[in-house]
Amino acid sequence: MSGPAATTFHWKKCRLDLPGHVALQACKRLPDEHNDVQKKTFTKWINARFSKSGKPPINDMFTDLKDGRKLLDLLEGLTGTSLPKERGSTRVHALNNVNRVLQVLHQNNVELVNIGGTDIVDGNHKLTLGLLWSIILHWQVKDVMKDVMSDLQQTNSEKILLSWVRQTTRPYSQVNVLNFTTSWTDGLAFNAVLHRHKPDLFSWDKVVKMSPIERLEHAFSKAQTYLGIEKLLDPEDVAVQLPDKKSIIMYLTSLFEVLPQQVTIDAIREVETLPRKYKKECEEEAINIQSTAPEEEHESPRAETPSTVTEVDMDLDSYQIALEEVLTWLLSAEDTFQEQDDISDDVEEVKDQFATHEAFMMELTAHQSSVGSVLQAGNQLITQGTLSDEEEFEIQEQMTLLNARWEALRVESMDRQSRLHDVLMELQKKQLQQLSAWLTLTEERIQKMETCPLDDDVKSLQKLLEEHKSLQSDLEAEQVKVNSLTHMVVIVDENSGESATAILEDQLQKLGERWTAVCRWTEERWNRLQEINILWQELLEEQCLLKAWLTEKEEALNKVQTSNFKDQKELSVSVRRLAILKEDMEMKRQTLDQLSEIGQDVGQLLDNSKASKKINSDSEELTQRWDSLVQRLEDSSNQ
């Protein structure tokens, strides 16, 4: 029975501030990550690792990793160390396994942000992908590139990788790699990297004439056949408007690992001096593409309302269209707000409600520029002086209505955020108080267990084992509550700043240290009791067997005739029996010595004078019987 894993507490700091006055500058929302593509790519990467170690592949990443065992299998292969796993099927077993995964990652300096055991066990898609990307980034990306980075005294692995690619593909006029997304969609760059180092594999001119899908398939197939690189990417996932950046980086590091890795300082400087517009991250590129894509291609029905009004050539029709768009969104937002459930009294439900409302408020922030644009357009129309009195009055009324409804929604949302935070902090405070009280009682319980004397028989040890199992069960039950505390939520604002978390940080650290100490003591004592139990049971069983053996030999010696022989034949039979007994005794002598050593080991582990005295007494009794039998055998032989 292994004890619950020691837990590191985290907290999430949320900074949410919705201005009272609508900002007029544009606000853009970052697009969602390419979850589906990452799921496929990461699954293939894991299965490639498992294939090398002879482990069965995973099918559904979010489901198969929930119990933590597959993650531990993965880390065993990456770290080269054996990691214990709990085989039970309960949530507690799964949490213990995942917490052990997080411990191993922490020990290997893998940075994780706001990822706890419950997120993985609950199958949270985004955080599961985040956990795996952290693992891949550490062992696949940084580990592969660490020597080159060290030689060049560079810390940015992406900069090194981009420099390597640009340096490799420089002779190919059709290729100009500027990033890890759009520069790879036509498939030429992948083929150029391969052709530069393996020009005999294929004709470059033929590749140029292929379609993007054909080029991608060609490159991935050649890399698999001649370089042994798994097909982590599917062509249809790359030949899109915006491929997944992380998946492409993963694949490129696989190429980097097996191909020549020369990177010059000049190539790095060239990357550093690329025009800023070409060095945008994946998320910014997505925004640029979305802003130029046809409106029907936008997947999210709640995406930011595009403003159709501008400061140039303002007209009443453009204003009315923009107003209608904003009011349509605002009505939908009001409905969404009203549909939110009443604040719960369960801490986990409140956390979910807090996260839901946090996303809602971010959406309000993303749309405030659209509201501001409409208000600005209305003012501009009025200022131009081209409206009739009736039209001007109508626009004034519309602007007043829009501003009032926006302000009401903003204030109500901020109020709900504040109430959610207050309720959540109170519930979390109670959780901390309950854990502290539980730890105090458990620490007192441990002190009593440490001072509980051990009797001189195995039954008393069995009793201690049962008591310890009870403690283990209580720990496992408390582990569920502790896991709930692995994600604390705290609001910080302009006034409180970092001081809002200082007290909580100190409290969590102390509780974490106490919990870890209890878990460590429980596991160490369980191991010690188990070791004593095994050795003591072995000692008693071997002593019992030796006693039976001595009894058998004593009876055999009693039957040996030592006088009044009728003839030489009877004498020879007795001499032969005595010789056999002597030989048996010599062979068994090692068992007696081993029992003596085991008895000493058990006595030292017990650290109990009464029990040690009993063990020594039993050992001496056997030694005396042995010596007596040896002496009788000697006397009989002399006769």
Same domain membership, residue 324 and residue 245: no
Same domain membership, residue 394 and residue 325: yes
The residue whose two tokens read 């000692």 is 539
- Which parts of the chain register pLDDT below 70? 1-34, 273-314, 453-456, 486-501, 607-608
Using the 3D structure, point to which of 391, 412, 433 is the last residue of a domain: 433
Number of independent structural domains in the chain: 4
Is 454 among the domain residues? no
The residue whose two tokens read 């995964």 is 101
**CA 123, CA 120: separation in Å to the nearest integer?**
5
Same domain membership, residue 404 and residue 347: yes
Is 82 among the domain residues? yes
pLDDT for the residue numbered 561: 76
Same domain membership, residue 620 and residue 538: yes
Using the 3D structure, point to which of 416, 433, 450 is the last residue of a domain: 433
Using the 3D structure, point to which of 433, 449, 473 is the last residue of a domain: 433
**CA 509, CA 265: separation in Å to the nearest integer?**
44
For the chain, give the longest Cα–Cα distance. 150
pTM of the full structure: 0.42
Which tokens hold the place of 588? 């068994």
Q: Which of 175, 219, 230 is nearest to 194 (CA)?
A: 219
Backbone torsion region of residue 490, taken as left when φ is above 0, otherwise alpha when ψ lies between -120 and 50, otherwise beta: beta
Strands, DSSP E only, in 502-618? none
Phi, psi of 162 (to 5 degrees): -65, -40
pLDDT for the residue numbered 491: 58
**CA 39, CA 187: separation in Å to the nearest integer?**
21
pLDDT for the residue numbered 13: 42
pLDDT for the residue numbered 562: 72
Same domain membership, residue 347 and residue 258: no
Same domain membership, residue 366 and residue 323: yes
Phi, psi of 488 (to 5 degrees): -85, 150
Domain of residue 590, CATH code: 1.20.58.60
Same domain membership, residue 194 and residue 228: yes
Is 491 among the domain residues? no
Is 81 among the domain residues? yes
CA 337 to chain CA centroid, nearest Å: 33
> What sign does the dihedral 177-181-182-187 (CA atoms) show?
positive
Same domain membership, residue 177 and residue 139: no
What range does the domain containing 396 cover? 316-433
